[in-house]
Structure 1
């Protein structure tokens, strides 16, 4: 593994941590993100939308897993093309996809250590960073347990641990609360608020109550297009008593989608 120069790990400031202009991204042959303009800075940002809205495809593009087909995308001050830029960006990213792979015989500690190695973290920093990540997701007692024996919720927490082990400047979490029980979700909300203090966190979720509790603002997509961008208070304000939903935030969410579809002629 090559040595990482100090200049490569020095703190850098950017006008925006994520900036997209007219972004188009395909999922297979389908245009899943269509002409998106978006700018994200420090804080916890919720990514909402119905199934098929383009949330996962957008996450994959931000994680440099797929390339845009049109428009521009800048992540951590670098355009997402070219090998040199991608290596630097990926070292500063944390990404939890909906489904993530792992070696079943790895322990939790070995799994997180392996992901730290892939992110080219300095070897001397890895043990402490791994322990801290495991502690933060509440898996301290399971650190030396094999991944294949973990419950679904514990696996999800191990996935979050690998995503935060490098203290990423940009953290992308796709449906991170799947499999977590109510108590674990409360702990996760607190972790999100902490992570959003110094970095940019984008969380894709269907659980609107988690958004209101932990996120600073909301990005709502439908069929790959931006429907709404604003604070959680602005989301709530869009709803009325006649709109579908069990909470003010859910009613705001459904009202925005209904209006957007009506304007689009759907």
Structure 2
């Protein structure tokens, strides 16, 4: 069973006068760590929101963990983990309380929550800050709390939108180790602008442009798509540049 299956998926944003942010997209993802790349406006965040069942598809088909998206979503949502690009919280929450609250929203059994919260905070290096107020944390620490709440229920599908924003280099290295561990048992999809993070952490790369998948393969396949003439500071950046330039006709 594939974790994520989409066929001719369309997601329209902006109402009647809006646009198709996801436009006829096809996707098949199973267990492992998958990187989602693409230029600004390519539809990455809309796709992640749709996979997280926050945004409804306009047309096409989408299945998560073998269940078509459209009817009752609660059983699927219990098995998802989601870190949005921006998330809010009550300022009076302490770190532990916030992750406990998110575990409760995921309908985790009450007896499991304390141990799961402690484990998730340990995995992101925040066990010693569990009783600190959220409002007192740095931006990078808030991001790590966001990762903790996303993994607290040991999800079968983990969706992370720009998870390394605000993390320092050492924290990014630890994050790569963490997602590699998670990908052994789950389907992890990471949306990011940092091509090097994809090269280091992901077994599979999905490149989207104008709402559609234009490439899916290994990081090595992405490297092979470029040449020394393409823009980029590394082979994988040049491969990305080659595919995006071909799609956009050389435009920014």
- Taking structure 2 as the reference length, the TM-score comes to 0.97
- Distance in 1 between the 2:191 and 2:146 partners? 15
- Distance in 2 between the 1:81 and 1:69 partners? 11
- Distance in 1 between the 2:89 and 2:13 partners? 24
Find 2:90's aligned residue among 99, 103, 123. 103
Q: Which residue of 1 aligns with 2:103?
A: 116
- Distance in 1 between the 2:128 and 2:33 partners? 28
- Distance in 2 between the 1:248 and 1:142 partners? 39
Matched, 1:141 2:128: yes
Give per-residue Cα distances to partners, 1:37-75, cap 9 Å, x unaligned. Answer: 100000000000000000000001000011111100001
Q: Secondary structure in 1 aligned to 2:111?
A: helix
Give per-residue Cα distances to partners, 1:10-48, cap 9 Å, x unaligned. Answer: xxxxx2100000000122222100000100000000000
- Distance in 2 between the 1:255 and 1:160 partners? 32
Matched, 1:152 2:113: no
Find 2:178's aligned residue among 173, 178, 191. 191
8 Å Cα contact 1:17-1:200 kept in structure 2: yes
Q: How far apart are residue 181 of structure 1 and its match?
A: 0.3
Root mean square deviation, CA, Å = 1.3
Unaligned runs of 5+ in 2: none
Q: How far apart are residue 140 of structure 1 and its match?
A: 1.1
Q: Which residue of 1 aligns with 2:168?
A: 181
Find 2:115's aligned residue among 128, 132, 144. 128
Q: How far apart are residue 104 of structure 1 and its match?
A: 1.1
- Distance in 1 between the 2:5 and 2:137 partners? 37
Q: How far apart are residue 76 of structure 1 and its match?
A: 1.1
- Taking structure 1 as the reference length, the TM-score comes to 0.92
Q: How does 1:1-266 map to 2 (within 5 A)?
A: 15-28=1-14, 29-83=18-72, 86-262=73-249
Which consecutive segments of 4 or more residues in structure 1 shift more than 6 A? Answer: none
Aligned length: 249
